[in-house]
Amino acid sequence: MGLGSKLGIISLSGASSFVNTYSFDFDGTDDYIDCGNNASLQITGALTLSAWVKMSSTSGQSQDCIISKDNGNTQRSFSLWGKTSFSIGPAGYVWNGATYYEVQATTNIEDDNWHHVMLVYVPSTSLSIYIDGNLNNTNTTSIPSSINNANQNINIGRFGGGTFQLTGNIDEVAIWNSDQSSIASAIGSSPVDLSSYSPISWWRMGDAATFGGGNWVLTDQGSGGNNGRSVNMIDSSRSTDVPS
């Protein structure tokens, strides 16, 4: 997609301009954002995960996790990755019992450019992954009717258990408890105001964030009120490098 580091401004149907000013830069070592495990995030039915990511072409990491609700052991629900050791590009996983179901993209996004990645789980039907607003791959084989309610906090920028930290930037992360495949193209070409799409949680990352006491607090712009809190991130972790 080849998107640069500049101010993103989108106007929707004559509405006031939406301005995207900041992302967060993750160091690939110990940075992450903890978004808790509020009841609204304990999703077992239809699910959509959405994020903008910019990953380094020279990081050398084999796996980078964007968002997870999974401890990598016995408490496993879902995760969205920028890259895994099994796939050249983004991948998504959901768990039912001790069985996982996956969809792997066929496009490498470790190219120092911004990309939108979206995972959609439709119970008993499909698990799909979208890149930059376009359907990249779908798994329809034996898709479960529900996913686990793992007793784990939502983490942005790493996998559960403190592993597979992402190296790069993450922006505009959102979660729905519904199938949002119909808006993939609308939200995947450029960052937009998600308010009218009613996400459960929408973390604008550097925007709507405040720094104090050594931590960033990310105000949830969705309906769930699930504010995120940074761990091991400093004042300068907020970056003006944003998708446009």
Identify the CATH number of the domain in which residue 197 sits: 2.60.120.200
Domain for residue 220, yes or no?
Answer: no
Examine the pLDDT at 101 and tell me if it is beyond 60.
yes
Domain for residue 208, yes or no?
Answer: no
pLDDT tens, residue by residue, 171-191: 999 999 999 999 999 999 999
Examine the pLDDT at 126 and tell me if it is beyond 50.
yes
Question: Could you list the residue range(s) of the whole structural domain that residue 86 is in?
Answer: 42-201
pLDDT tens, residue by residue, 128-149: 999 999 999 999 999 999 999 9
CA distances from 8 to 15, 19, 151, 208 (A): 15, 6, 36, 15
- Predicted local distance difference test score (pLDDT) of residue 18: 83
Domain count for the chain, please give it: 1
Which tokens belong to 149? Answer: 């309610």
> What value does the mean pLDDT take over residues 214-219?
96
- Predicted local distance difference test score (pLDDT) of residue 73: 87
**Residue 6's CB: how many other CB atoms inside 10 A?**
12
**Residue 164's CB: how many other CB atoms inside 10 A?**
24
Examine the pLDDT at 3 and tell me if it is beyond 80.
no
pLDDT tens, residue by residue, 51-85: 999 998 887 777 999 999 998 888 999 999 998 88
Domain for residue 218, yes or no?
Answer: no
Domain for residue 5, yes or no?
Answer: no
Residue 69, classified by CB atoms within 10 Å of its CB into exposed (0-12), middle (13-18) or buried (19+), is: buried
- Predicted local distance difference test score (pLDDT) of residue 9: 40
Domain for residue 237, yes or no?
Answer: no
The amino acid at 201: S
Q: DSSP E strands: which ranges in the chain?
A: 8-10, 18-20, 23-27, 32-34, 47-55, 64-70, 76-83, 91-96, 99-104, 114-122, 126-131, 134-139, 155-156, 167-176, 201-203, 209-212, 215-218, 228-231, 238-239
